[in-house]
Amino acid sequence: QCLLSGSWRSDTGCRMVVSVLGKDGSFSGSYLPGPATGNSEILSSPLGGSQQDAGLVPQPTFSFTVRWRLQDQTTTFLGQCYVGTNGEETLHATWLLREAADSPAEDWKATR
């Protein structure tokens, strides 16, 4: 069964710590970027999200948003938790990073 509670580390060294899941699938926690970001000033930032009911589907989808401290950026992750034949849980996710734009004319370059 795939549950997001606990600590997760990405291939690039980012770390996500998820608190206990609520009965409605909601969760909160913190996210710390890895050395691949190249920015040593980034601190652990709060995250909040939700997971599909793992009791209904064995490999649930999830989403969460990170509100970066000390930056005008927000990142949203959307993915799925997979359980391998050996029982190991793996997260696969896609992300979008949005930074504040100075004007509507600058909006086009604010999302990566």
Residue 93 neighbours by CB under 8 Å, 6+ apart: 62, 77, 78, 79, 80
- Residues 54 and 3: their CA atoms lie apart, in Å, by 7
- Residue 51: both structure tokens together: 């997971």
pLDDT tens digits along 6-23: 999 988 888 999 987 888
What dihedral do alpha carbons 78, 52, 47, 33 form, nearest 10°? -50
Task: State what percent of residues in the chain have pLDDT above 90.
Answer: 59
Residue 111 lies in a domain: no
The single residue listed with the structure tokens 């999830």 is: 62
**SS3 category, 106:** helix
Q: Count up the domains in the chain and report the number.
A: 1
Range of the domain at 100: 6-35+43-106
pLDDT tens digits along 35-64: 755 555 567 899 999 999 878 888 999 999
> For the domain that residue 89 is a member of, what is the CATH number?
2.40.128.30
pTM, to two decimals: 0.84
